[in-house]
Each structure stands twice: as structure tokens, then as C-alpha cells.
């Protein structure tokens, strides 16, 4: 599938079948994540693969939605703020930018593999920390991504995006 086709057809999946993600598909998605670019190639991230039912159960408490509980597994992407690039001009930490690219690699790779996911940032970070047993203040959970096959009744919604002329500014 072309990048354009992936971008056109990917959507946030909020209802999953309980079929487990095949190991080879998971490995493929994680390799796409690992290859993501980052500022100064610092790669200031970790990807936690949560399949353990007890850990998953605590993690579900960090984002208490029935639909999230339908996913057979989840990925949690953390930022390592002591490894990320800080722009010298203003010390801006680029960890979130880096994490976003990695997460979108995951989203597009999952979609290409016939799986679904959804970015989740509206989670409780303290509960997420507890689930993963994170103790360092330098490591921050940034994105939670359920992963699995979309439930059979899931239908792709119509794309709702701003028009090109609202988004693209050409300075010819």
C-alpha cells in the first residue's frame, strides 16, 4: 500500500476483537518503530509491549474506557528526557516530537498489517507509571496505543480534515 493509501484509509480503532496479534506482525510493527528518525538521532524512547494480563489490567485503569479494555494488548511509548535533544537556542525539549514520529510509524505499520490502533494521550500518567513500574522522573509515558484486530462491526469513519487551503501555505 502506498503511503497515501495508508494515510487515507487509517483510522483510530476503538473496538477490538479478542484475537491476539500474531508475533510476526508485532515484530514487524516494532521494527518500523525502531527505525523512526529522531532529533540528532538520540532515539530518546522506549516501547513497552504489554501483553501480561495483570499489567494490562492496571494500564486499563489509566484510561478507563470500555473500548480500551477490548484490546488484547497495548504498547506504551515513553520519553527519556535525559537523552532527548534540546534546541540550544531556547532549550526546547524535542522528545515529544520524536515520540510522535515513532508512534505514527506504529499506527501506519499496524494498519498496513491489517491491525488497528489508536493514539491515547488522555490517560492518567501516575497509573500508567505504576503499571510499568516506572521510577525515574526522566522517563515519561507519552502515548498509549492499544493494538489488535478491529472488531468485525467496526466501520471506517469518513475522514474529517481541514481543507488544503486552510492548512498549506505556499510562499512562492
Ligand X SMILES: Cc1cc2nc3c(=O)[nH]c(=O)nc-3n(C[C@H](O)[C@H](O)[C@H](O)COP(=O)(O)O)c2cc1C
Sole residue written with cell 534546541: 87
Q: Exactly one of 25, 28, 55, 119 binds ligand X (CB under 6 A); which one?
A: 119
Residue 12 contacts ligand X per CB under 6 A: yes
Instruction: Please choose, out of 22-30, 71-79, 115-123, 128-136, the segment that lies near ligand X by the rule CB under 6 A.
Output: 115-123
Q: How would you classify residue 126: left for phi > 0, otherwise alpha for psi between -120 and 50, otherwise beta?
A: alpha
Q: How far is the CB of 156 from ligand X (least distance, A)?
A: 8
Query: Is the CB of 44 or the CB of 146 nearer to ligand X?
Result: 146
Q: How far is the CB of 94 from ligand X (least distance, A)?
A: 15
Residue in the shown chain whose Cβ atom is closest to ligand X? 122
Residue 5 contacts ligand X per CB under 6 A: no
Query: Is the CB of 50 or the CB of 118 nearer to ligand X?
Result: 118
The phi, psi pair for 117, rounded to 5°, reads: -155, 180
Q: Which helix (H) or strand (E) holds 78?
A: strand 73-80
Residue 59 contacts ligand X per CB under 6 A: no
Residue 28 contacts ligand X per CB under 6 A: no
Q: Which helix (H) or strand (E) holds 147?
A: strand 139-148
Torsion of CA 125, 50, 63, 100, to 10 degrees: 60
Q: Taking each helix axis as running N to C, give the angle between helix 53-60 and helix 125-132, from 0 to 180 degrees, rounded to the nearest 10.
A: 170
DSSP 8-class letter at 152: T
Residue 75 contacts ligand X per CB under 6 A: no
Q: How many residues bind ligand X (CB under 6 A)?
A: 7
Residue 62 contacts ligand X per CB under 6 A: no
CA-nearest of 167, 149, 128, 139 to 44 is 139
Residue 122 contacts ligand X per CB under 6 A: yes
DSSP 8-class letter at 157: P
Q: How far is the CB of 3 from ligand X (least distance, A)?
A: 15
Q: Which residues of the chain form contacts with ligand X (CB under 6 A)? A: 11-12, 118-122
Amino acid at each position: 500500500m502506498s503511503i497515501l493509501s495508508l494515510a487515507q484509509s487509517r483510522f483510530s480503532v476503538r473496538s477490538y476483537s479478542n484475537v491476539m496479534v500474531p508475533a510476526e506482525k508485532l515484530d514487524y510493527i516494532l521494527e518500523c518503530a525502531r527505525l523512526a528518525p529522531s532529533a540528532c538521532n538520540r532515539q530518546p524512547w522506549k516501547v513497552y509491549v504489554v501483553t501480561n494480563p495483570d499489567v494490562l489490567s492496571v494500564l486499563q485503569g489509566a484510561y478507563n474506557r470500555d473500548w480500551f479494555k477490548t484490546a488484547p494488548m497495548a504498547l506504551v511509548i515513553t520519553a527519556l528526557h535525559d537523552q532527548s535533544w534540546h534546541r540550544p537556542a531556547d532549550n526546547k525539549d524535542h522528545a515529544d516530537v520524536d515520540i510522535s514520529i515513532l508512534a505514527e510509524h506504529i499506527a501506519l505499520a499496524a494498519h498496513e498489517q491489517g491491525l488497528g490502533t489508536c493514539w491515547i494521550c488522555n490517560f492518567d500518567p501516575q497509573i500508567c507509571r505504576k503499571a510499568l513500574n516506572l521510577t525515574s522522573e526522566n522517563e515519561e509515558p507519552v502515548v498509549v496505543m492499544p493494538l489488535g484486530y478491529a472488531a468485525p462491526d467496526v466501520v471506517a469513519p469518513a475522514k474529517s480534515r481541514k481543507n488544503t487551503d486552510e492548512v498549506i501555505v505556499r510562499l512562492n
